[in-house]
């Protein structure tokens, strides 16, 4: 027994030596197959024939398929179910396949017909839609009133676990009048109802398919959109789309599309520079020059619908003092920070409402940089020698968030505000926020997905937000309360006359501004890398859609 | 031998139990998964509801006991983020991609390290030896993420030979850069080990005897010296493989490689406790088992070693 084992052992060792020897010979020979010569691969490996690629695509042939790229995997949560997601990346990807009744245009103000051709308000509680006729879902099911009713009600059912369910919870019923007419009813007057209907959760899904089994969304996707799902394995891998040649709006110009996620910023930028991807959302701001000089792609920017801001904890010192809050707004030098830290990639806003939102106050100008005024306010408030202030920031989520917090602290220190940036891990930040352990400035950000001031001013600043937060226990980042403000946003919520509603929101924004309930900052700028083969301009609402692109030929 | 293996298996169970327990409690300190999961748009009632569904409103000791009894049956619960898919299934689905990368990186480092180490030892203090030693030092001290990005910039952006990232439905050209990145540190370490092992053995009496009896030099090196120098490598290879399986996190992130490492980073960021726990369990178990196999192999390869 021992004998045989010893022999096999020797044989094995001999074989190891043989293999190593053979490899050594191969490596020394003239026709080396692969393998770098040393531990650090300074020598390029032989080029595999299949990887051959023209190095200058501009002079070569155009790519066969369009590759769209993002940095975050958002489909893990609900896979291919468009109605339960909330993220803008998931929306951007899945709305190649699925469409709502109405869609917001590029200006983020005009509502365009999509699967509904016209609509009218019948009374305070009813919005009537005429549906597009002759449209079929990708699996052959008809799109009609019943399909629309099914799709609108589906995300409202708590059993379907739609992440944005509360945004649509005001819808009380959908009546099908005839095959192509439906009435959408709300329990209370809802001036933002039409905008709500542009939302991601309100996309139309093929009813028989969607109702057939709970896990259909992990395998298939059947909508009415310009693209059909062509291949899909799982949320961490590339997947592809093919043009829907029967699309009611005409077949899209680009026939094959690949959806890819590259989490690492440096890799994403490199993939763009090597021509492997054609449109990349969020490329490194420092790399934009290199991308432009590469002759292969261009960096393109657009103001984004996302608004970051620092909420002030108004119940605790030092931010329980209005003059100090205003002083912070005057002293933070945000315009300077936009130039020096963000390379100009942000646009100031006076409060937390963006210029393209319904209810935006055009005449309200952002707090200017005025350190002297800040000092005067501090003196009046009884803090001529400054005060301590925590800046609770998070890192790695938005463009240069950490650097911005540090620069703000520096600026505030110049007028004597002893600001201290405190890094909060995103999840831990939430916990401390809920435990109400935070004071000073607390980072927040909002991408208003229905483009209406209600979905910001009411849900973040009305007293009810403070009082219902965290199951009534409260949280640090929702501390604001002003009865006068409350009254205005409550009235605006049910005011159907657009002019009166705008006046209410204007007054509300003036109060919020004067109260300095937050350190009001900016709308971010989105930076896209776009290959020279692709004709496309970015949108403000972060949507990257192949059907809005064409080959540059 | 049988008794030894049984004892080691028992130890393995204890180690995995310890790891899983540590991870369970550490995760509890890191924040609320539900908040992260639902995003900004959800109401407080929704949040409470989900917390209740997931059992996160129950006291910690109770949750721990439930967790252990489920885990003992291989049930790590359902993913918090991924619509209730079983956590273990999510991890196992990702395992093949990681295994592919890990075994290829290991093979690359073993073969290349043996070649370079032998050359280095035989041609000691030559230019070649100095180059290999320098590269080994470089490879061992270079951070992985930096190497990965440099490889991408050279081979994908400048030369345009290889894809910069992605899984490419399993196509081999997509494997090259991640494999090189992952293999580099182990490769460097192994090279130095082979070199010093060979140098040690080439000075031994039996090597002189082999030469004295007129054996060809290649026979001496491959037949006698390398065989003996290879024995300690087995231990290092075992440790390396364990580290490769668990440590591909950075490489997978850089190259968007859909393996366990990428999944676990996403799960940690989303506080998806069940998936993190299942992944830690799988990796810890693999690590312990591989090293058990290595120890057993060792006695077989080198009969002088006795397990007691």
* Residues B155-173: tens digit of each pLDDT: 998 898 999 898 887 788 9
pLDDT score at A53: 34
pLDDT score at A20: 45
| pLDDT higher than threshold 70 for residue A3 | no
pLDDT score at A465: 86
pLDDT score at A11: 54
Helix (H) or strand (E) holding B294, with range, is helix B273-301
| pLDDT higher than threshold 70 for residue A194 | yes
Structure tokens at A133: 């006729």
pLDDT score at A77: 84
Provide the H-helix boundaries in B86-219. Answer: 87-122, 127-141, 144-151, 176-202, 205-212, 217-218
Enumerate the β-bridge partners of residue A113.
Answer: A102
pLDDT score at A166: 77
A428 contacts on B by Cβ (under 8 Å): 30-31
B94 contacts on A by Cβ (under 8 Å): 236
| pLDDT higher than threshold 90 for residue A335 | yes
Average pLDDT of chain A?
A: 86
Whether the CB-CB separation of A256 and A65 falls below 8 Å is answered with yes
Q: pLDDT band at residue B60, thresholds of 50, 70 and 90?
A: confident
In the predicted model, what is the mean pLDDT of residues A132-142?
96
Give this prediction's pTM: 0.81
B82 contacts on A by Cβ (under 8 Å): 76-77, 235
Q: What percent of chain A has pLDDT over 90?
A: 65
Structure tokens at B276: 């993190």
Q: Which chain B residues in 193-232 lie under 8 Å from chain A, judged by CB atoms? A: 218, 222-223, 226-227, 230
For residues B45 and B261, the model is more confident at B261
Per DSSP bridges, beta strands A522-531 and A297-303 are antiparallel
For residues A410 and A162, the model is more confident at A410
At A339-357, the pLDDT tens digits run: 999 988 999 999 999 999 9
Q: pLDDT band at residue A29, thresholds of 50, 70 and 90?
A: very low
| pLDDT higher than threshold 50 for residue B153 | yes
Distances (CA, A) of A379 to A333, B255, B278: 19, 55, 58
The SS3 call for residue A297 is strand
Q: pLDDT band at residue A172, thresholds of 50, 70 and 90?
A: very high
Whether the CB-CB separation of A544 and A302 falls below 8 Å is answered with no
Distances (CA, A) of B34 to A436, B27, B188, B280: 17, 13, 43, 21
Residue B200 Cα, gap to closest chain A Cα (Å):
17
Q: What percent of chain B has pLDDT over 70?
A: 93
pLDDT score at B226: 84
| pLDDT higher than threshold 90 for residue A271 | yes
pLDDT score at A324: 96
For residues A453 and B29, the model is more confident at A453
pLDDT score at A114: 96
In the predicted model, what is the mean pLDDT of residues B125-144?
88
Of A125-134, B91-100, B205-214, the range with the highest mean pLDDT is A125-134
Interatomic CA distance for residues B200 and B193, integer angstroms = 11
Phi, psi of A323 (to 5 degrees): -65, -35
Contact A267 B154 (CB under 8 A): no
pLDDT score at B104: 92
Q: Compute the CA torsion angle A184, A190, A191, A196 (nearest 10 deg).
A: -60
B276 contacts on A by Cβ (under 8 Å): none
Residue B103: alpha-carbon gap to chain centroid: 9
B54 contacts on A by Cβ (under 8 Å): none
The SS3 call for residue A319 is coil
pLDDT score at A1: 34
Structure tokens at B137: 């030092």
Lowest mean pLDDT among A440-454, B32-46, B73-87, B220-234: B32-46
pLDDT score at B138: 87
Helix (H) or strand (E) holding A327, with range, is helix A322-331
Structure tokens at B225: 């010296």
At A507-539, the pLDDT tens digits run: 999 999 999 999 999 999 999 999 999 999 999
Residue keyed to tokens 């831990």 = A428
pLDDT score at A551: 95
In the predicted model, what is the mean pLDDT of residues A195-200?
92
Interatomic CA distance for residues A84 and A528, integer angstroms = 27
Interatomic CA distance for residues A303 and A229, integer angstroms = 30
DSSP characters over A138-204: TTSPBPSHHHHHHHHHGGGSGGG--TTHHHHTTEEEEEEEETTEEEEEESS--TTHHHHTTSGGG--
Whether the CB-CB separation of A221 and A80 falls below 8 Å is answered with yes
Residue A31 Cα, gap to closest chain B Cα (Å):
17
Interatomic CA distance for residues A409 and A407, integer angstroms = 5
Contact B32 A427 (CB under 8 A): yes
Find the residue in A nearest to B304 (Cα). A6
Q: pLDDT band at residue A32, thresholds of 50, 70 and 90?
A: very low
User: Is the link from the previous residue into B80 a cis peptide, with omega within 30 of 0?
Assistant: no
Contact A42 B176 (CB under 8 A): no
CB contact, 8 Å: A211 with chain B? no
Q: pLDDT band at residue B42, thresholds of 50, 70 and 90?
A: low
pLDDT score at A27: 36
ipTM above 0.85, yes or no: no
User: Does residue A343 come out as left (phi exceeding 0), alpha (psi in the -120 to 50 range) or beta?
Assistant: left
pLDDT score at A198: 94
pLDDT score at B235: 81
Interatomic CA distance for residues A229 and A232, integer angstroms = 7
Which of A55, A271, A434 lies nearest to residue B164, judging by beta carbons? A271
At A276-294, the pLDDT tens digits run: 999 999 888 888 888 998 8
At B76-101, the pLDDT tens digits run: 888 877 877 899 999 999 999 999 99
Find the residue in B nearest to A260 (Cα). B166
| pLDDT higher than threshold 60 for residue A502 | yes
* Residue among B228, B26, B197 nearest B122 (CA): B197
Whether the CB-CB separation of B105 and B183 falls below 8 Å is answered with yes
| pLDDT higher than threshold 50 for residue A18 | no
* Residue among A96, A85, A71 nearest A217 (CA): A85
Interatomic CA distance for residues A297 and A287, integer angstroms = 12
Interatomic CA distance for residues A519 and A319, integer angstroms = 11
| pLDDT higher than threshold 90 for residue A250 | yes
Residue keyed to tokens 């549906």 = A131
In the predicted model, what is the mean pLDDT of residues B7-32?
84
pLDDT score at A215: 86
CB contact, 8 Å: A80 with chain B? no
Average pLDDT of chain B?
A: 85
B44 contacts on A by Cβ (under 8 Å): 468-472
Phi, psi of A444 (to 5 degrees): -145, 160
pLDDT score at A55: 38
Which of A9, A47, A161 lies nearest to residue B300, judging by beta carbons? A9
Per DSSP bridges, beta strands A388-393 and A522-531 are unpaired
Interatomic CA distance for residues B229 and B118, integer angstroms = 10
| pLDDT higher than threshold 60 for residue A48 | no
pLDDT score at A93: 96
CB contact, 8 Å: A76 with chain B? yes
Find the residue in A nearest to B162 (Cα). A51
């Amino acid at each position: 027994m021992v004998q045989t084992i010893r022999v096999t052992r020797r044989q094995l060792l001999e074989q190891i030596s043989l293999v190593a020897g053979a490899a050594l010979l191969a490596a020394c020979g003239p026709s080396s197959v692969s393998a770098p010569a040393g531990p650090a691969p300074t020598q390029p490996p032989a080029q595999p024939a299949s990887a051959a690629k023209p190095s200058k695509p501009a002079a070569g042939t155009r790519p066969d398929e369009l590759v769209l790229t993002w940095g975050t995997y958002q489909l893990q949560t609900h896979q291919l179910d468009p109605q339960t997601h909330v993220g803008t990346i998931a929306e951007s990807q899945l709305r190649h396949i699925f469409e709502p009744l109405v869609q917001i245009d590029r200006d983020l103000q005009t509502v365009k017909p999509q699967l509904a051709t016209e609509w009218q308000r019948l009374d305070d509680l009813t919005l009537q839609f005429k549906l597009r006729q002759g449209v079929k879902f990708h699996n052959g099911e008809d799109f009609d009133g019943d399909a629309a009713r099914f799709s609108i009600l589906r995300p409202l059912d708590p059993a379907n676990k739609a992440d944005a369910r509360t945004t649509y919870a005001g819808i009380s019923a959908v009546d099908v009048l005839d095959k192509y007419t439906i009435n959408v009813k709300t329990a209370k007057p809802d001036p933002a109802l039409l905008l709500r209907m542009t939302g991601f959760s309100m996309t139309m899904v093929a009813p028989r398919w969607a109702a057939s089994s709970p896990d259909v969304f992990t395998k298939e996707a059947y909508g009415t959109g310009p693209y059909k799902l062509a291949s899909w394995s799982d949320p961490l891998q590339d997947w592809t789309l093919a043009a829907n040649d029967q699309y009611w709006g005409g077949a899209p110009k680009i026939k094959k599309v690949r959806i890819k996620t590259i989490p690492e910023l440096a890799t994403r930028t490199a993939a763009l520079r090597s021509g492997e991807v054609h449109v990349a959302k969020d490329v490194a701001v420092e790399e934009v020059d290199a991308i432009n000089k590469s002759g292969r792609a261009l960096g393109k920017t657009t103001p984004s619908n996302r608004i970051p801001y620092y909420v002030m904890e108004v119940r605790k010192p030092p931010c329980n003092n209005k003059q100090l809050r205003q002083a912070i707004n005057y002293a933070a030098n945000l315009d300077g920070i936009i130039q020096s830290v963000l390379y100009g990639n942000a646009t100031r806003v006076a409060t937390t409402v963006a210029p393209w939102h319904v209810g935006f106050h055009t005449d309200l100008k952002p707090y200017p940089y005025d350190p002297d005024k800040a000092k005067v306010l501090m003196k009046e408030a009884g803090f001529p020698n400054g005060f301590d202030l925590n800046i609770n920031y998070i890192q790695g989520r938005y463009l240069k968030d950490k650097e911005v917090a540090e620069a703000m602290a520096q600026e505030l220190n110049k007028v004597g505000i002893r600001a201290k940036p405190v890094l909060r891990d995103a999840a831990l930040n939430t916990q401390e926020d809920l435990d109400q352990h935070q004071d000073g400035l607390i980072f927040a950000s909002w991408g208003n997905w229905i483009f209406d001031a209600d979905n910001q001013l009411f849900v973040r600043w009305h007293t009810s937000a403070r009082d219902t937060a965290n199951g009534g226990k409260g949280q640090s980042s929702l501390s604001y309360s002003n009865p006068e403000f409350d009254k205005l946003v409550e009235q605006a919520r049910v005011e159907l006359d657009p002019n009166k509603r705008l006046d209410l929101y204007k007054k509300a924004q003036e109060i919020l501004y004067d109260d300095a309930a937050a350190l009001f900052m900016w709308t971010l700028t989105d930076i896209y890398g776009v290959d020279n083969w692709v004709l496309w301009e970015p949108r403000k609402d972060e949507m990257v859609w192949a059907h809005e692109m064409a080959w540059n030929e | 031998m049988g008794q030894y293996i049984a004892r080691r298996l028992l130890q393995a169970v204890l180690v995995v139990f310890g790891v899983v327990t540590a991870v369970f409690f550490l995760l509890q300190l890191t924040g609320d998964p539900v908040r992260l999961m639902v995003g900004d748009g959800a109401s407080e009632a929704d949040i409470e509801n989900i917390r209740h569904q997931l059992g996160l409103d129950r006291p910690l000791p109770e949750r721990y006991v439930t967790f252990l009894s489920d885990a003992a049956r291989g049930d790590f619960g359902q993913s918090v983020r991924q619509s209730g898919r079983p956590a273990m299934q999510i991890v196992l689905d990702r395992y093949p991609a990681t295994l592919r990368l890990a075994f290829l990186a290991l093979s690359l480092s073993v073969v290349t390290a043996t070649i370079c180490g032998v050359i280095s030892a035989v041609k000691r203090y030559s230019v070649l030896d100095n180059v290999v030693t320098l590269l080994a030092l470089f490879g061992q001290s270079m951070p992985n993420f930096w190497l990965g990005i440099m490889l991408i910039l050279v081979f994908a952006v400048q030369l345009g030979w290889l894809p910069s990232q992605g899984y490419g439905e399993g196509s081999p050209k997509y494997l090259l850069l991640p494999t090189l990145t992952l293999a580099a540190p182990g490769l460097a370490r192994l090279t130095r080990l082979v070199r010093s092992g060979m140098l040690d053995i080439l000075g031994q009496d039996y090597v002189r005897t082999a030469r004295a009896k007129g054996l060809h030099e290649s026979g001496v090196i491959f037949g006698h010296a390398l065989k003996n120098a290879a024995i300690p490598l087995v231990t290092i290879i075992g440790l390396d493989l364990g580290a490769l399986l668990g440590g591909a996190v950075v490489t997978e992130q850089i190259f968007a490689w859909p393996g366990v490492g990428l999944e676990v980073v996403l799960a940690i960021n989303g506080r998806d406790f069940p998936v993190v726990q299942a992944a830690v369990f799988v990796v810890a178990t693999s690590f312990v088992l591989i090293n058990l196999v290595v120890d057993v192999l060792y006695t077989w390869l080198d009969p002088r070693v006795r397990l007691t």
